[in-house]
Structure 1
Amino acid sequence: MSFREEGDDGRGDLRKPFLHTGSWYRMGSRQSSMMGSAQTIRDRSISVLACVLIVALGPIQFGFTCGYSSPTQSAITKDLKLTVSQFSLFGSLANVGAMVGAIASGQIAEYIGRKGALMIAAIPNIIGWLAISFARDISFLYMGRLLEGFGVGIISYTVPVYIAEIAPQNLRGGLGSVNQLSVTIGIMLSYLLGLFVGWRVLAVLGVLPCLILIPGLFFIPESPRWLAKMGMTDDFEASLQVLRGFDTDITLEVNEIKVSSLGFCSLTDVHYIKPYDITNYSLCLCSFHNVHLLLIVTPYLYGISSGNAATVGVGAIQVIATAISTWLVDKTGRRVLLIVSSSGMALSLLLVAVSFFSKGFVSEDSTAYGIFGILSVVGVVCMVIAFSLGIGPIPWLIMSEILPIKIKGLAGSVATLANWLLSWVITMTAPLLLDWSSGGTFTFYMLMCAFTVIFVAIWVPETKGKTLEEIQFSFR
C-alpha cells in the first residue's frame, strides 16, 4: 500500500516530498526516445554527478561560514568597536546554531525529504548573511551567525546522506568525499575573497551558494531510498531510473531497496547498535582532530606571522589533499585512508609537540630555536595534508553509508549533534590548554590520533564496493 493511501488522519501528507518535482523524470523514464536534455542524463555518471554538483553548493556554504571569521576579524572589530571576547563569541555562535540544526536535521530530512531539508537550510543561511552584511551593532552579527549555524547543521547531515543514497556503489566513495572537498573549497574561497573585499561585501558573497542551490533543487530527483521508505513506489522507481540511466535494468536494485525499507526498528535494535556506535565514535574523533582550530592558533604560538596570503596557501593545500582523497577512496578503501591519515596526523603532531617542548630548553636567539620553529610549521602543514586525506572527509561518508535507512534520521541527528557539540567544546577550551602547555596539548592530540588508528583497525568495517543494503545486512 502506498504511503499516500495510508490512514485518514492526514499525517501522511506531512511526509510527502517538500519539493515534489517528480513529473519531469517520470515522463523522461517512460519516453526513452526523448532527445535534448533527457539525452544528457542517460549516462549514469553524468546524471548522478549533476545532482552531486548541485547539492555540493551546500557544503561550499558550510565552508564559507567556517572561514568567514578569519579574514574579517580585524575589520569587524574595528568598524563595530568589538572586544576580543565579543568577536570570539561571534565566531563560536556558528557552532551553537549548528547544534540546534543538527538536532532538527534528521527529523526534517525524514519528514519532508532530503531536498526539502536543503531548502529549509538555505533560507536561514541567506537571512543570516544579509543580517551580518547590514549589521550596525553586535546583535545583528550574533543573530546572523546563529542563523548561518542552524543552516550549516542541517547541511552537514543532509548532503552526505543524499549523495550516499543516490550514488552507485562503485562511485559512492568518491562522490561522497565531494562533500568535504566542497567544504574546503568554501573555506579557501572565504580566505581568498577576504584579501580583496570588505567584510560586508564578503557577507553578501556568502549568499550566492544558497541562491544557486535553491533553484537547482527543482531540477534533481529526490533520494530514491527515502521515497521507498515513504512508500512512494512510482516516484521511487522513476527517481532510481533517471539516476541509473533510462536504458539500465534497475530491477535488482529496486528489489533490494524495497526489502531494506520494510518494517520498523529503533536504536535499541541489536542489529543497529554497532553501526550507530561506529558513527558516533567516528564523528567525535573527527572533532578531536579539528584541524581548522589548530590552524588558527598555532601560527601565533610559533611567533610566526602567517598573514592572509599564507592562510590562503594552507586552504589551497587542504583542497588539493582532499581532492586526492576523493580520487583514492574508491580505489584504496575507507579503512586504509583512515589509518594512513590518522597515523600521519599522529606523527605530525608528535613533531610539533617535540618542537614546542624543545624550544623551552634553548635560547630564543639561538639557531636551534629557529630550527624548532620551522619544524613545528612543517609538522602543522603535514598534519593538514594527513587530515584532508582521511579524517576530514571519511567519517561523514561512513555515517551516510552504515546507518540503515530506518534509523538514519534519529541516529544521524544524534551523531551530528555530538560532532558539533564536541567541536564547540574543543574550540572553547583549546586556547586555554595551549596557553597552559602547548607541547602538552599537541601531545594529547597526538595520542587521540594514535587511538583513532586502533579504533579504525578493530572496529570500522570496509564499505568499498558494497551497496547500502549489503552494508546494512553485514551487521546482522
Structure 2
Amino acid sequence: MALNQDVERGWSDAITQPLIPQVKISDCEEDGAQKKDQGSLWMVLISTCVAVCGSFEFGTCVGYSSPTQSGIRDDLGLSLAEYSVFGSIVTIGAMIGAVTSGRIADIIGRKGAMRMSAVFCIVGWLAIYFSKGAVSLDIGRICTGYGVGIISYVVPVFIAEITPKNLRGALTTINQLLICTGMSVVYIVGTVVTWRALTLIGLIPCIILLLGLFFIPESPRWLAKVGRQKEFQSALRRLRGEDADISEEAAEIQDYIETLQRLPKARIQDLFQRRYAHSVIVGVGLMLFQQLGGINGIQFYASETFVSAGFSSGNVGTIAMGLIQVPITAIGAVLMDKSGRRPLLMMSATGTCLGSLLCGISFYLKSHDLLLGWVPILALTGILVYLGSFSLGMGAVPWVMMSEIFPINIKGIAGSLVTLVTWFGSWAVSYTFNFFTSLSSSGTFFFYSGASLATVLFVVKVVPETKGRTLEEIQISMNTWRGEKRERVENVC
C-alpha cells in the first residue's frame, strides 16, 4: 500500500531530522558551553561505557568455543557432533533474542532490556561452569545466546539515542570495538586458563552492566515515546548537564515522536513491496554473504583448526587472532567515512577470499603430503589475513549500511529480518563447520573463498555508495522502483 502525500512528507521529515539534535550555543556563552559540554560528555561517556559492557559480553560469548574445544571434549567426553551443537546453539538463542529484542526494548525500556539480557547471560555462564554433561552445557549456551541476541540490538540503539549528533558516529563505533575486544580477551586468556575458569570472563561484564545500569539514565527518546514526560526531562538534563538549555532539543524529540506515531504501522508483508526491494536485497544480501564467508566457523573453532594444520597446540594462532582484531577494526572505522562503504567492502571481501584460499591450499598440501613444512605457516597466514580483512570491513559495514538504507517506517521490522538472517547464517556455518572440515578441510575453505569472491561481485553490481549522502537521499533513491518517481530522485540527488 503506497503512502499518501501527507504521510510521505512526515516520513521525509522524520528521516532527515536527527534523533538527538545538538543544542546551539552562541559565541558569547563560550565559557558556559565548555562547562555544559563537559557535564554532558561525562554522563554520555559513562552511560556508553556501561552499555558496551554488553558488547564485550557479546564478544566473549561468541569467542568462548574456540579456545575451549579440546578441554571441554576431554573433560566431559563429548563427541564432535555434541560439541558442534554446543558451539552453534548459541546462535539459536541469539535468533530468538534478536526477534524479541525490539518488542522487549519498547515495552520495558532500553535499560530494562539490557538488564534482562545480563540476567540471562549470568544464568547461562553459571550453567556452563557447573556442567557435568552436554545437556547443561547446551542450556547454558542457549541462555547466553538469548542474552546476546537482545544485546546485539539494544546496545547500539541506546548509544544512538543518548548521544549528541557530533559524537554519535565515534561512540557508536565503540560497540563494534568492544565486541572484538571481548573475543580477543577470550582467545588470549583461554590459552592459559581452564574452560571453567574462562566463564568468569563472561560473568564479569554482566555483573558490571547490572550494577552500572543503576547509575545511568534511561534513553530520553524512549521515555518520551511512552509518555513519561517528567522522567524524559530529567534524563535529558542529566545527559546534557544541569545548566544546559534542553528546551529546544526536548521539543525536537517530541516532534520526532509525534511524526513517527503518524506513520502507518509496518507489517512484514510491506517489506516485499517493489518500492523496498532494493533495500531488502542489499540488507539481507550483505548479511548473508557476511556469514557464507565462514567467519563464525573460523572464529568458533580456530584453535582446533590450527591443530589440524600441524601446530602442536592452537595457542599461538589463537593469541595472534586476539591481537589482530581490535586495531584493524579501529582502522576500518576510520576509513569508513574516508574511503566509502563500497571500496571498504570490496577490499575486505577480497582479503577474506585470499585468506580462505591460503587455508584451502594449506590443507590441500597436507592431504597430499606435499611441502608439509609450509602447511602450518600457510594456515596461520591464511586465517590471520582472513580475520584482519573481515575486521576491516565485512564485520562492521553491513550493520552500518543496514541503519542507512531502510526508511523510518519499516526500519524496525526490516532490522529484525536482517538480524534474523544474520544469526541463522551464523548457526548454519558454525554447526556445519566441523562436519565439512572432517570431510574435506581444503574443500571447506575453497568454498568460503568462492563465497567471498561472490561478495565482491554482489557489492559491485548491487550495493550503492552511501558515504556523503543524507538519509533522505539514500532512502528515497533506494526505495523507488525503476522509473517510479524518477524525477523526484534526480532532483534530490
TM range (shorter): 0.7 to 0.9
Separation in structure 1 between the aligned mates of residue 327 and residue 289 of structure 2, nearest angstrom:
23
Identify the match of residue 432 of structure 2 among 429, 433, 445: 429
1:316 counterpart = 2:302: no
CA displacement at 1:463 relative to structure 2: 4.1
CA deviations over 1:60-99 (Å, ceiling 9, x no partner): 1111112223333343334434444333322222122212
Q: Select between 452-461 and 123-132 the one with higher mean Cα deviation.
A: 452-461
Structure 1 residues 158 and 400, CA, compared in 2 at 3 Å: closer, same or farther?
farther
Residue 452 of structure 2 corresponds to which residue in structure 1? 449
Unmatched segments (≥5 aa) in structure 2: 1-30, 480-493
Structure 1 residues 370 and 80, CA, compared in 2 at 3 Å: closer, same or farther?
closer
Separation in structure 2 between the aligned mates of residue 91 and residue 436 of structure 1, nearest angstrom:
19
Which TM-score applies when normalising by structure 1? 0.79
Residue 305 of structure 1 corresponds to which residue in structure 2? 312
Identify the match of residue 72 of structure 2 among 62, 76, 83: 76
1:392-411 alignment runs, 5 A limit: 392-411=395-414
1:156 counterpart = 2:145: no
Separation in structure 1 between the aligned mates of residue 240 and residue 404 of structure 2, nearest angstrom:
19
Separation in structure 2 between the aligned mates of residue 57 and residue 279 of structure 1, nearest angstrom:
27
Separation in structure 1 between the aligned mates of residue 81 and residue 160 of structure 2, nearest angstrom:
40
Q: Work out whether residues 102 and 414 of structure 1, in 8 Å CA contact, stay in contact via their aligned partners in 2.
A: no
1:112 counterpart = 2:108: yes
Q: Work out whether residues 94 and 149 of structure 1, in 8 Å CA contact, stay in contact via their aligned partners in 2.
A: yes
Separation in structure 2 between the aligned mates of residue 355 and residue 223 of structure 1, nearest angstrom:
50
Q: Work out whether residues 332 and 392 of structure 2, in 8 Å CA contact, stay in contact via their aligned partners in 1.
A: yes
Residue 354 of structure 2 corresponds to which residue in structure 1? 347
CA displacement at 1:387 relative to structure 2: 0.3
Residue 483 of structure 2 corresponds to which residue in structure 1? none
Unmatched segments (≥5 aa) in structure 1: 1-32
Separation in structure 2 between the aligned mates of residue 409 and residue 421 of structure 1, nearest angstrom:
18
CA deviations over 1:336-380 (Å, ceiling 9, x no partner): 32222112222333333344445666x44xxx4433552343222
Separation in structure 1 between the aligned mates of residue 465 and residue 258 of structure 2, nearest angstrom:
24
RMSD between aligned alpha carbons?
3.5
Identify the match of residue 415 of structure 1 among 413, 418, 421: 418
Identify the match of residue 381 of structure 2 among 378, 382, 390: 378
Structure 1 residues 253 and 465, CA, compared in 2 at 3 Å: closer, same or farther?
farther
CA displacement at 1:441 relative to structure 2: 2.5
CA deviations over 1:115-163 (Å, ceiling 9, x no partner): 2221211111111112222334443322211211111111122223333
Residue 6 of structure 1 corresponds to which residue in structure 2? none
Structure 1 residues 347 and 240, CA, compared in 2 at 3 Å: closer, same or farther?
farther
The sequence identity of aligned pairs, in percent, is 43
Separation in structure 2 between the aligned mates of residue 237 and residue 470 of structure 1, nearest angstrom:
32
Structure 1 residues 195 and 448, CA, compared in 2 at 3 Å: closer, same or farther?
closer
Residue 387 of structure 1 corresponds to which residue in structure 2? 390
1:189 counterpart = 2:164: no
1:286 counterpart = 2:284: no
Q: Select between 457-466 and 134-143 the one with higher mean Cα deviation.
A: 457-466
Q: Select between 337-346 and 156-165 the one with higher mean Cα deviation.
A: 156-165
Separation in structure 2 between the aligned mates of residue 226 and residue 131 of structure 1, nearest angstrom:
33
Separation in structure 1 between the aligned mates of residue 408 and residue 204 of structure 2, nearest angstrom:
32
Residue 266 of structure 1 corresponds to which residue in structure 2? 267
Which TM-score applies when normalising by structure 2? 0.77
Structure 1 residues 234 and 448, CA, compared in 2 at 3 Å: closer, same or farther?
farther
Separation in structure 1 between the aligned mates of residue 318 and residue 67 of structure 2, nearest angstrom:
9
Residue 41 of structure 1 corresponds to which residue in structure 2? 39
Q: Work out whether residues 124 and 148 of structure 1, in 8 Å CA contact, stay in contact via their aligned partners in 2.
A: yes
CA deviations over 1:8-44 (Å, ceiling 9, x no partner): xxxxxxxxxxxxxxxxxxxxxxxxx999x9774334x
Code of the aligned partner of 2:381: V
Separation in structure 2 between the aligned mates of residue 224 and residue 461 of structure 1, nearest angstrom:
33
User: How many residues end up aligned between the 2 structures?
Assistant: 439
Structure 1 residues 220 and 472, CA, compared in 2 at 3 Å: closer, same or farther?
farther
1:52-67 alignment runs, 5 A limit: 52-67=48-63
Separation in structure 2 between the aligned mates of residue 192 and residue 135 of structure 1, nearest angstrom:
23
3-state SS, counterpart of residue 111 of structure 2: helix
Structure 1 residues 253 and 289, CA, compared in 2 at 3 Å: closer, same or farther?
farther
Separation in structure 2 between the aligned mates of residue 168 and residue 464 of structure 1, nearest angstrom:
20
